[in-house]
Amino acid sequence: MSETPVDLDKHRGMAAQKATDIRRSLAEVEANARVLRDRQRLLETELISVPAASWPEAAAKARYVLNLYAAALGPQDSQHRDLVAAVLADFARLSKDI
């Protein structure tokens, strides 16, 4: 008996190899998405529980919320997208003055 493991992927047909690659990629993407959701939940819990100590910190929280809002907007809602962009630009401009 050989101690070298057999690479079963080499013995599959091309369609089976592609299906296996897709399943592996999908599992990896789903795992990464779970990790990202967990990290986002932790961040949001911290943003809620820790009050801002300065205007720049408050602006950072507002930026986060505005980006969440903008991500949920439909593509046809250009006026609200423009409004979010203008507010974020104001934050960037005003934070340089501090």
Q: What is the pTM of this model?
A: 0.69
User: Running DSSP on this structure, what letter comes out for residue 77?
Assistant: -
User: Running DSSP on this structure, what letter comes out for residue 23?
Assistant: H
pLDDT digits (tens, 9 = 90+) for 19-67: 889 999 999 999 999 999 999 999 999 999 999 999 899 999 999 999 9
CA distance 27 to 71: 25
Which alpha helices (DSSP H) does 1-98 contain, by range? Answer: 14-49, 55-72, 78-97
Every domain of the chain and the residues it spans: 1-50, 52-98
User: Running DSSP on this structure, what letter comes out for residue 73?
Assistant: S
Please say if the pLDDT value at position 1 is more than 80. no
